Structure 1
Amino acid sequence: MPLSTLNKEQLSAATAPIGNNLIIASAGTGKTSTIVGRIAHLLQTGIEPSKILLLTFTNKAAGEMLERVGRYFPAVVVNKIESGTFHAVSYRWLKQINKNVTLKQPTELKTLFRSIYEKRQFKRLNHDVEAFSSTYLYEQYNLYQNASLDGFDIWFIDKYPDHKPLIDIYMNIIDEYEDTKDRFGFVSFNDLLIKMRQSLLENRREMQEVLVDEYQDTNTLQSALIDSIQSNSLFCVGDYDQSIYAFNGANIQNIATFGKRYNDATVFTLSKNYRSTASILSLANRVIERNERIYPKKLEVTRVSKNYPPKLLIYKELFDQYQAIARNIKNSYTPSNDIAVIFRNNASADGVEASLRELGINCKRKGGNSFFEAKEVKFLLDVLSLIVNPKDMMAFIHIFEYGKGIGTAVAKEMFECFIHFGEGHLFTGMLSPRVFNLPKLNPTKNMQLGLFDDDTQIGSISRFAHLKLSEQIKSNPILKHPKLTDDGLIFFKNFYDFLKSIKNVKQPQTMIIKLINTPLYEGIVEMLSNQRAKLKSGEIDPDKK
């Protein structure tokens, strides 16, 4: 059984009584074995597996732990254990409550946020302070959701007091953003935790024990979620000295104040390191001994092997560093697949990779964009997503923001227009509209909030008389949109023609083939290739297209 392989410290922690237990486990001290041992102990003592919740920071970590538990217990038992990341578990539980929840990726929600932000005309307000960009405001809002349970305005003004004159506009943007998400059933990763916590506070979910891995990296929201679960016992594993995610909202006070926040808390420390050699551990001890001590700790060496002391090599130029790394690898007797180069950013990776290839050293670079993240491919997938689900506003915005002169804000308004024209049906509004008046696009006119109505007058259809358009296009009320330009209308025409061409097509492969051969897609590919080939001078390098 797993418990038989544990050392004295690990066994003491793994078999601790039901209650609030914190395990200080430095890197290499066997925290995974201890968690696996704890789960085994709970099962052996008769705890129902479905009443055990394991929260980790990666699904891979949860899978590996349960795989090890599965070596000693039947699958029918292990599969009942609730496990996964905070977000995965929250998503799974929310779907059990509301199957209409649609998780959107950060890039999609950033686009939605920008479409709302761009409706505000900050420059016309003549404030002394310049407004934050859409991207920065979105990132600050996401950080706030992880870091505070107070109102956004309180948290934000505390950080940026100079922006107090703009806080009402910022709050109005965020309110509209949240209202839009609720209307379409969109949720962000943060929303999963926020909504799950709200649900648990209203309808408690009883668990016998909640186990938390990497507890030092939990943020305020995750800590609040843990507290909202009705549990008889906590088993939190972490290391104060390994907390490195403060920039992303991690709250070191979660682990630092564990003993004060939970009654009768017990703290265990794992001190025996099984991973590192004496010289590496000695260096680590010298570094962490300078940290403010909350929990006493002294790492002990258990590994007996040849000792290679760490080296710090300093170079005056980055190029010299890349070349030296490549030469050292070239002259090493260590097999290439046992060597890893960890880099700070992609620019450094390019230099290291080039230097390695120059010396004929094969290397495999991990990370970077996948095929499906290429903009040309994402466009195709967005079109298919919209065809499958015409209510997918984000897919529509991603498609139409490629139209010259459209942008995210106008794309969102066009989506709302077509839904209105089709009496709730997007493609009806685009192909055979039933309603021919424009909806109220800016119902919350408020100049103090940067919302002006001087551009909401119905546009004259005659301004497009010089374009060669079919009667069906000419009759579509979208031509009345005041912000629609010639280029924007041509983009709509091309999309309209594509929709007409696939009217009787059922196979996705055929749709993609037809789409690839349309002026719509050819124009996007040309635009993206020009963007990539554009030099600093503004000229296009044909070799890079």
Structure 2
Amino acid sequence: MTQNNTQTEISVSALKRNHLCTKSMHFDFEAKDNSSSEAGSRSQIVKDTIINALKYDLKRLTKVCYPNGKQNYKDSEKAYSRAVMEYMATRYDECGFINYQQKQEQLLWDHRRVMRYLNWERRIPSFPEPDTVELGNRTVRIKPDLLFESAPGVAEVVFLKNSFAQPRPRHKNGADEFYEYDLQLYSAILYARKKGYNNITASIYFMKKRSDCSNWYCCSQEFTGDNIIRMIDLYDGKDNELDDKIRSQYFSCLNQGIDDEEMKGNDCRFCPHYDICKYELPSISTYQEMGDSIIPSAVSYTDQQQKVIDFNHGVARVIAAAGSGKTQTIAGRIVRLLQDGVKPEGILCITFSNSGAQEMKRKIARQCLACHVKADLEKLAVTTFHAFEFDIVKSNWKKLGYKKELTVIDTVQKYSVINRILKKHPVYEWGGKSFLNYTVSSNYGMKGALAIVADIFSEIKAMDGDENTDPRLLSSVKDLPSNVAKEIVSRYLYYKEELLANGLVDFEDMELNAFSIIDNDPDYLNQHCAYRHIFIDEYQDTSGFQMELVKRLRQNSSFESLMIVGDDWQSIYGFRGTSPEYILNFERHLNSAFMYRTINHSVSYTHNSDHVEDLYLTQNWRSKQEILDLSSQLLEYNSSGIKKTIDAARGNGGIVTVQGYDDIEQEYRAIAEMIKAEHDQGIAYDNMAVLAFTKNELRKLASCLTNTGIPSMFGAPEPISENSRIRALLAFVKLLENTENTKNAAIVANAVYRASDLSLTTGIMELPRTEILERVGEVVYMACQINQERNPKEKKEMLLSYIRSFSLGDETVEHFLEATANLDYDETISYCQDFERFGLAEEYRRLGEYPGVKLITAHSSKGLEWDVVFFTPDGIAKSFNRKTSINDELRRLEFVAMTRARDRLHVTGLRMRRTANGYAMNVPLQELLSVYDQKQEKTE
């Protein structure tokens, strides 16, 4: 039941599109939000500063004169500025800054902008009292900040804002669109008319200019232009053209509201009811666990695959082309070993990613079932390099000097630790934009102080350095003054101490600490990792560290076989420190002397030399031959690689198109039209994917697909903070801190309501007021119950149990909660609070399968496949440069993306790409067009 409870009285600040949404207007619940944000507090302080400076004529009070009585204008200006700064400084503790330098930097910039206005202002204002005006069928509460009367009947009414002015939007046909300031300015006009003025200017003064840059002395010191937006009225007691314009353009939506389907992205994003109205259920995974009654048929293998399965002793390098069934073949060989009596605990299989490990486990389980092999697969080690190293470190945490059992540190915890260090041990010489953007991890190339320090500490670890490392050896300090870089490096000692004290380990620690254990204990791997048969998948993406680990595992006395599997044509992770070198020259690296990465080692190994047998999997079971021909011939542009011919087991008959476009909208429309056409021909949306270089490209395309009515699902990592259940979880944590905040309670109540019945298509906004109040009350009651519990362990269990009551088994929520596994209740609450400060850029890639056209980055598509693939190399073009190794890797990435297609491949791209100097050719597209045209000529 929808309540018709449209509010008739509203604040002037609510005269915006997002407050005029019909769904929001009819929501029969007034949520109380008594929290305050840092930005909101700063805005209020800036406004109070200006009002008080003008009200008490601070400029006159701070005037400085020479002995002869004449004013010293220079010293007066300094005294005025100093007095304003002192007032603002006393107030800025109210803002809740998490770092002193962050506070000081924001204070400095806000003060500069305030003084820009105060130095410009020469008039003496009055300070209006609050009042109401009638706007359509609404009563608007209004209190302007300043009123300047220049003559009887002549006035300017002013609102102050500590922000930029938004430009007036224009419809494509030239018509005016809703402008969020018009109704506020018109309300000020009505206010001034009510006070008896007839020559009226209503203004909004914005403290920030869009032209402001990071160097204040390069910024305009004039308070003009885009600092001010005005509306002018000459009133003679009768309605005029302005009244008619406002009525015709705005009164319909003001009186009746704007349909929620007409709301735009930002309208909704800043709506106070966003988390309730735009709540999204988690996608339901389409993957089904295999039931006991379903017995898969045994797998048939080709001669090439059978050779791999029959390999039983020594060392083998398997060159496995894309789509050659390598995972199935590795699984087949592991099942053969189990059939031959090898115990599961004697087998180690290392894959590149968690999703790869899951897929390998599923295929081994299926083949065991098909071949009637009974084995305890829980004892079979199918893992990643990082997980393998973490197991070693976790088992030896006391020996390594940690004070608690270990947890893998995430960005939230890392930033929290660094924030504490910078708070206790500030680098006073450091300031500027790094502290204005203190918590920003990456924004158009801009990083905040936390991200910069994190990068420096990671680089120190990677080079086995310490707090005495020479900063000149670090690439991450290149934009910092040398004295600042030296001070930051010196804080590394505190970082190490924090990690040891709190049982936190990062990826760099895993490798270094694992090697510390292995290199200082010659028998460690024999005792704890006595594997007889070792498999390493995706070997083309191996690092030097990982190569060293493989060499050590090979030396175990229990060793019988080592099989590395990969394809140099699919080496795409050079930016993570991996290289195809280790698969290209595997035998040389395997038989080379050990390299020691830890500082203290006192042992040596007896080294066995091995001949490496090469095996090949070159028959592709995924793609049609046309797709393989285009993809593999592109790599002829590369400077090196193992020569191979890939044959399609499924033969010819594939469809390949390569098309260039003049602008991005044209390209995206074409992709949408082709997806529609494929769907009309019977291809399910689930069986199609769009691959691009960056997530930003995919987000833009997602909007185009949504507008065309095409369902889509991000296969690339998604922002955790955008997940509806995560937002409800964080709202509940805030409610625990403040049970009077019914806005947070309503967000949680909505999540609980939606979780109660998955067939529901609407949330609590559609419920009667009494039921809303009841449901919100239940959430507040639960928060109070948890707060009253005195047993910390029980308290945490109550919290997690309640969260899971509305999380619907969402794997993103489970991933989030993993970080709290070793934390007590108070630490869990702190982690959630830190996530809101530092975790907005954190992402998670779902491991399950979900419905809709997949939108996924080329890197994330590795190992996946679809009937139809759309690939755009536009983003790749931006990274092409004069360095051969980079271009070679980018072509390999294109190869990976295109060989995800089973039957049809559509490549689209811009013919020319925009650059800083104009336009440049889209090199990847031109190369593909060249290969494609050559193929077309041969077939004609």
Q: TM-score range by the shorter chain?
A: 0.5 to 0.7
Matched, 1:139 2:445: no
Picking from 383, 389, 403, the partner of 1:84 is 383
Please report how far the alpha carbon of residue 94 of structure 1 lies from its aligned counterpart in structure 2 after TM superposition. 4.2
Q: Which residue of 2 aligns with 1:49?
A: 344
Query: Contact 1:3/1:11 (CA < 8 Å) preserved in 2?
Result: no
1:107 equivalent in alignment to 2:402: no
State how 1:94-493 maps to structure 2 within 5 Å.
Answer: 94-98=393-397, 100-117=405-422, 119=424, 121-122=426-427, 124=429, 133-139=449-455, 141-142=457-458, 153=469, 157=473, 159=475, 168-201=486-519, 202=521, 203-204=524-525, 205-229=529-553, 230-231=555-556, 232=559, 233-262=561-590, 263-309=610-656, 311-332=657-678, 333=681, 334-366=683-715, 367-370=717-720, 371=723, 374=726, 377-378=729-730
Preserved CA contact (<8 Å) 2:625 2:653: no
Distance of 1:101 and 1:85 partners within structure 2: 18
Q: Considering fraction of residues, name the structure with more helix.
A: 1
Q: CA deviation at 1:85?
A: 1.8
Take 1:313 and 1:222, find their aligned partners in 2: how far apart are those partners? 41
**Partner deviation per Cα, 1:198-234 (whole Å, 9 max, x = no partner):** 3233222322122111111122333333333344232
SS of the residue 2:390 aligns to: helix
Deviates more, 1:260-269 or 1:241-250: 260-269
**8 Å contact from structure 2 (residues 786, 799) kept in 1:** no
Deviations 1:358-404 (A, max 9, x none): 3333334445234378467347569999xxxxxxxxxxxxxxxxxxx
Secondary structure in 1 matching 2:516: helix
Identity %: 21
Partner of 2:359: 61
Task: For 2:577 and 2:734, locate their aligned partners in 1 and report how far apart those are by CA, in whole Å.
Answer: 31
Q: Which residue of 1 aligns with 2:333?
A: 38
Shift in Å at residue 264 of structure 1? Answer: 1.3
SS class of match (1:28): coil
For structure 1, which runs of at least 5 residues remain unmatched after alignment?
Answer: 386-497, 515-519, 532-545
**Secondary structure, in 3 states, of the residue corresponding to 2:645?**
coil
**Would you say the 8 A contact 1:196–1:225 is kept in 2?**
no
Q: Secondary structure at the match of 2:658?
A: coil
Report how many residues are paired.
Answer: 407
Q: CA deviation at 1:141?
A: 4.3
Measured at CA, do residues 77 and 376 of structure 1 come closer, stay the same or move farther in structure 2, by a change above 3 Å? closer
Given that 2:626 and 2:653 are in contact with CA atoms closer than 8 Å, whether structure 1 keeps it comes out as no
How far residue 95 of structure 1 moved from its aligned partner, in angstroms, is 4.1
The Cα shift of 1:243 comes to 0.9
Whole-angstrom distance in 2 between the partners of 1:244 and 1:302? 25
SS in structure 1 at match of 2:643: coil
Q: Is the 8 A contact 1:2 1:37 kept in 2?
A: no
Tell me: CA distance 1:501–1:55, structure 2 relative to 1, closer, same or farther (3 Å): closer
Moved more, 21-30 or 72-81: 72-81
Contact 1:144-1:155 within 8 A present in 2 as well = no
Alignment CA distance shift 1:37-1:217 (3 Å): same
Query: In the TM superposition, what is the alpha-carbon distance from 1:93 to its structure 2 partner?
Result: 4.5
Aligned AA (2:509): D
> 2:706 & 2:687 partners in 1: Cα distance?
17
Q: Is the 8 A contact 1:26 1:271 kept in 2?
A: yes
Partners of 1:180 and 1:82 in 2: how far apart?
A: 32
Match of 2:573, as an amino acid? Y
Which residue pairs with 1:439 in the alignment? none
The CA distance in 1 between the partners of 2:538 and 2:375, in whole Å, is 27
Which structure: larger Rg? Answer: 2
Structure 1 CA distance, aligned partners of 2:789 and 2:366?
Answer: 52
Verify: 1:5 aligned to 2:357, yes or no.
Answer: no
User: What is the deviation of 1:24?
Assistant: 1.1
Contact kept, 8 Å, 1:372 with 1:378, in 2: the verdict is: no
Kindly state the Cα deviation for residue 25 of structure 1 after the two structures are TM-superposed. Answer: 0.8
Q: Which amino acid aligns with 2:326?
A: K
Conserved in 2, the CA contact under 8 Å of 1:39 and 1:69? no
1:23 corresponds to: 318
**What letter matches 2:455 in structure 1?**
E
Q: Which amino acid in 2 is paired with 1:215? A: Y
For the 8 Å contact 1:3–1:37, the answer to whether it is kept is no
Contact in 1 for aligned 2:430/2:484 (Cα 8 Å): no
- In the alignment, structure 2 segments of 5+ residues that lack a partner are 1-295, 398-403, 436-446, 591-609, 738-783, 803-828, 841-940
Does the 8 Å contact 1:28/1:274 carry over to 2? Answer: yes
**Greater Cα offset, 173-182 or 85-94:** 85-94
Q: CA RMSD in A?
A: 4.3
CA distance in 1, matches of 2:459, 2:569: 22
- Say if 1:502 and 1:184 are closer, same or farther in 2 by CA, change over 3 A: same
Q: Distance in 2 between matches of 1:5 and 1:235?
A: 21
- TM-score of the pair, normalised by structure 1: 0.63
**Aligned partner of 2:539: which letter?**
Y
**Which residue in the other structure is 1:502 paired with?**
788
CA contact (8 A) 1:143 1:249 kept: no
Distance 1:88 1:160, change over 3 A: closer
Q: Please give the alpha-carbon distance, in whole angstroms, between the structure 1 residues aligned to 2:366 and 2:801.
A: 46
Deviation at 1:55, TM superposition (A): 0.7
Distance 1:358 1:372, change over 3 A: closer
Preserved CA contact (<8 Å) 2:335 2:373: no
SS at match of 1:206: coil
1:124 Cα offset (Å): 2.5
Instruction: Compute the displacement of 1:268 (Å).
Output: 2.0
Q: Which amino acid aligns with 2:549?
A: L
1:53: how far off?
0.5
Could you tell me how far 1:236 is from its partner in structure 2? 0.8
Deviation (angstroms), 1:335? 3.1
* Aligned CA distance change for structure 1 residues 3 and 381 (closer, same or farther; 3 Å): same
Counterpart-to-counterpart distance in 1, 2:358 and 2:798: 37
Whole-Å separation in 2 of the counterparts to 1:198 and 1:241: 34
- 8 Å CA contact 1:112–1:177 kept in 2: the answer is yes
CA–CA separation in structure 2 for the residues paired with 1:63 and 1:154 = 45
Deviations 1:49-103 (A, max 9, x none): 2121111122323322432442235443433221122233333454444582223
Distance 1:244 1:143, change over 3 A: farther
- Residues of 2 paired with 1:15 and 1:330: CA distance? 46
CA pair 214-383 structure 1, distance change in 2 beyond 3 A: farther
Distance in 1 (CA, whole Å) between partners of 2:463 and 2:364 is: 32
Whole-angstrom CA distance in 1 between matches of 2:465 and 2:303? 43
Counterpart-to-counterpart distance in 1, 2:537 and 2:456: 26
Contact 2:626 2:654 in 1 (8 A): yes
Contact 1:25 1:270 in 2 (8 A): yes
